[in-house]
């Protein structure tokens, strides 16, 4: 029986790259996504023998239960790895968000991961164990301009993973966290904004390295093989950190004199 992996957001970008990688290694893969057309395309590529798609909105616990039960049956009764990868990001200045305009990102990026970590327990907690990999982001290490809510959700996923590795370790489940830097997936184009421009072009112009999703998928494979890995790894991009520091310095330089001038006659 081949090993099995269920990947949320498996219809696109990083999730699809992971599905391709593990499928090529002989694994049985389950793809959960809200994008039915994307699922259909991915399944046409992978073939029906060791791949199955599930319509899954990670915000819905009943949808999780249905998808995981369906995949466990398809995979011969066990799920070895769950990757909580589905995520969205909204590029906006925090002060421009409408009241409560942070709900969707929190619901998908954080609550969706929490649902997944609970819903998988019946499939990994019966003594057979397993691994959960949660996809956070380098933005969870250093908060990023116009991505405040995104950064907060990814920081939360990071600490959640660390804590869960301790709790779920008691029932034989390992939890690790992947923290990618900028990676060449459709999410970069979804971050297009008439006001702020194309994210991919801006990032490239800064000299920040954009990673390849297939390289990250390979790193996930390495994570699974490395026993010592207690808590995933982070891709620490020096160019990105240097850029953030520059932006901070520039903003402080602009804002401080103005605010002092206003408050002090
Ligand atoms: P992507 O947009 O190509 O893929 C995201 C997938 O998630 C899509 O298939 C989308 O349909 C799916 N999805 C969205 N909402 C969903 C929901 N409610 N339920 C189920 N599926 C849903 O983006 P990606 O870059 O491949 O992103 C994958 C993960 O990697 C995300 O969590 C993202 O935050 C993270 N990440 C990406 C980058 C990057 O630069 N690309 C960097 C750091 C972290």
Task: Please answer whether residues 210 and 220 qualify as being in contact, where contact means their C-beta atoms are separated by less than 8 angstroms.
Answer: no
| 8 A C-beta contact, residue 124 and residue 173 | yes
At 227, is the pLDDT very low, low, confident or very high (cuts 50, 70, 90)? low
Q: What's the CA angle centered on 13, arms 162 and 76, to 5 degrees? A: 70
pLDDT confidence of 191, banded at 50, 70, 90?
Answer: confident
3-state secondary structure the chain: CCCEEEEECCCCHHHHHHHHHHHHCCCEEEEEECCHHHHHHHHHHHCCCCEEEEECCCCCHHHHHHHHHHHHHHCCCCCCEEEECCCCCCCCCHHHCCCCCCHHHHHHHHHHHHHHHHHCHHHHCCCCCEEEEEECCHHHCCCCCCCHHHHHHHHHHHHHHHHHHHHHHCCCEEEEEEECCCECCCHHHHCCECCCECHHHHHHHCCCCCECHHHHHHHHHHHHHCCCCCCCEECCCHHHHHHHHHHHHHHHHHHHHHHHHHHCC
From the alpha carbon of 138, which atom of ligand 1 is closest? 43
pLDDT by residue (tens digit) across 38-93? 999 999 999 999 999 999 999 999 999 999 999 999 999 989 999 999 999 998 99
Contact 29, 7 (CB under 8 A): yes
> What pLDDT does residue 240 have?
61
CA–CA distance, 108 with 162 (Å, rounded to integer): 19
pLDDT of residue 225: 85
- Spatial contact of 154 and 140, defined as CB atoms under 8 Å apart: yes
Ligand 1 centre and the CA of 14: distance in Å? 7
Which atom of ligand 1 is found nearest the CA of 180? 43
Closest Cα to atom 44 of ligand 1: 137
State residue 145's pLDDT score: 86
Model pLDDT for residues 147-167, shown as the tens digit of each residue = 999 999 999 999 999 899 999
Q: Who's near 4: CB < 8 A, 6+ residues apart?
A: 27, 28, 29, 30, 71, 72, 75, 76, 78, 79, 80, 81
For residue 116 and ligand 1, the question of a CB distance below 6 A is answered with no
pTM of the predicted protein model: 0.90
Q: What is the mean pLDDT of residues 104-127?
A: 94
Does 114 score more than 80 pLDDT?
yes
pLDDT value, residue 164: 95
In angstroms, what is the span from residue 169 Cα to ligand 1's centroid? 27
Task: Tell me the CA–centroid distance for residue 107 and ligand 1, in Å.
Answer: 13
Give the Cβ contact number of residue 3 at 10 Å.
16
Rounded to whole angstroms, the Cα distance separating 88 from 105 reads: 6
Which ligand 1 atom sits nearest the alpha carbon of residue 87? Answer: 32
Instruction: Say if residue 205 is exposed, middle or buried (CB neighbours under 10 Å; 0-12, 13-18, 19+).
Output: exposed
Instruction: Give residue 83 CA to ligand 1 midpoint distance, Å.
Output: 12
Which residue has a Cα nearest atom 34 of ligand 1?
A: 87
149 CB within 6 A, ligand 1 = no
The answer to whether 56 and 34 have CB atoms below 8 angstroms apart is yes
Q: How many CB atoms lie within 10 A of CB 82?
A: 28
pLDDT of residue 258: 42
Q: For ligand 1, is residue 39 a contact (CB within 6 Å)? A: no
- The pLDDT of residue 260 is above 70: no
Residue from 187, 203, 232 whose mutation best tests the ligand 1 pocket (most atoms within 8 A of CB): 187
* Confidence check: pLDDT of 23 > 50: yes
Question: If you measure from the C-alpha of residue 128 to the centroid of ligand 1, how many angstroms do you get, rounded to a whole number?
Answer: 29
Residue 140 CB less than 6 A away from ligand 1: no
Q: Which residues are catalytic?
A: 150
Choose the CATH number for 4-255 among 3.30.420.10, 2.40.50.140, 3.50.50.60, 3.40.50.720. 3.40.50.720
Number of Cβ within 10 Å of residue 41's Cβ equals 15
């Amino acid at each position: 029986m081949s090993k099995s992996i269920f990947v949320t957001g498996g219809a696109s970008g990083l999730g699809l790259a992971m599905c391709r990688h593990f499928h090529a290694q002989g694994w049985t893969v389950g793809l959960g996504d809200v994008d039915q057309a994307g699922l259909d395309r991915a399944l046409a590529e992978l073939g029906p023998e060791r791949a199955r798609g599930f319509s899954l909105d990670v915000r819905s616990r009943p949808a999780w239960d249905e998808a995981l039960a369906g995949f466990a049956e398809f995979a011969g009764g066990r799920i070895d790895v769950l990757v909580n990868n589905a995520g969205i990001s909204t590029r906006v200045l925090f002060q421009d968000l409408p009241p409560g305009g942070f709900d969707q990102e929190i619901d998908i990026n954080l609550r969706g991961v929490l649902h997944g970590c609970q819903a998988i327990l019946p499939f990994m907690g019966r003594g057979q164990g397993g691994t959960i990999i949660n996809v956070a982001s380098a933005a969870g290490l250093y908060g990023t301009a116009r991505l405040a809510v995104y950064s907060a959700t990814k920081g939360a996923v990071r600490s959640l993973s660390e804590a869960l590795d301790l709790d779920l370790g008691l029932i034989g489940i390992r939890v690790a966290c992947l923290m990618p830097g900028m990676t060449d997936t459709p999410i970069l184009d979804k971050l297009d904004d008439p006001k702020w421009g194309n994210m991919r072009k801006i990032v490239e112009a800064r000299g920040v390295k954009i990673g390849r999703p297939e390289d990250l998928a390979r790193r996930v494979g390495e994570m699974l093989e490395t026993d010592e890995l207690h808590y995933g790894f982070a891709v620490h991009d020096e160019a990105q950190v240097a850029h953030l520091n520059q932006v901070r310095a520039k903003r402080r330089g602009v804002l401080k004199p103005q605010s002092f001038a206003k408050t002090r006659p």
